[in-house]
Amino acid sequence: MTARVSPYLTFAGNARQAMRFYQSVFGGDLDITTFGTVHGPTDAARDELIAHATLRGTTGVVLMASDRTPGRAGAESGTSITLGGDEAELVTYWERLSEDGSVTVPFARSPWGALYGRCTDRFGTDWLVNVTAPATP
């Protein structure tokens, strides 16, 4: 089984700048999706905030990030842990991590085809679990 653990960083409006800096450090490809792209245009300032960014560094470093969801209360910045892979064992990980915690996004089929869920475990750690759809022959 192969599993990947990737930091998911949350910023208060400066995710784009932070991820461009990390790209200057680690090299590689940076993919950015804004809230305006995901939800459609609503407000110029909100639309340019980062809904999701992934940096795949040249040496295997993978960082993900977003700006804090507009209107969401909480810390100015924070970290979540993304656990991803293509094996059913990750379903068991989800069950264990979410037990006695709180589920933010129920574990279910996502629009991108993966099984996806988000929870905060009993110790306060935020987890995003993404089980990719198996490739078809």
Q: In this predicted model, what pLDDT tens digit does every residue of 2-16 receive, in sequence order? A: 788 888 888 888 899
The three-state secondary structure class of 88 is: coil
| Token output for 77 | 């910045």
Question: What is the CATH class of 7-81?
Answer: alpha beta
pLDDT per position as a tens digit, 93-135: 899 889 999 999 999 998 788 899 999 988 788 889 999 866 4
Q: Alpha-carbon distance 91 to 97, whole Å? A: 10
Q: What are the tens digits of pLDDT across the range 54-80?
A: 999 988 889 999 998 766 655 555 678
Position of tokens 């989800």? 94
d(CA 100, CA 78): 22
Please check whether the two domains, 7-81 and 86-137, share a CATH topology. Answer: no
Contacts of 39 (CB under 8 A, 6+ apart): 51
Mean pLDDT to the nearest integer, 17-43: 90
Closest by CA to 29, choosing from 39, 20, 18, is: 20
Alpha-carbon Rg of the chain, whole angstroms? 15
The confidence score (pLDDT) of residue 71 equals 66
| Complete DSSP assignment for 95-129 | HHHHTTSEEEEEEEE-TTSSEEEEEE-TTS-EEEE
Residue 81: per-residue pLDDT: 82
- What CATH number does the domain located at 86-137 have? 3.30.720
Q: How is the chain split into domains, by residue range?
A: 7-81, 86-137
pTM above 0.75, yes or no: no
Give first-to-last CA distance, the chain, whole Å. Answer: 19
The overall average pLDDT reported for the chain is 84
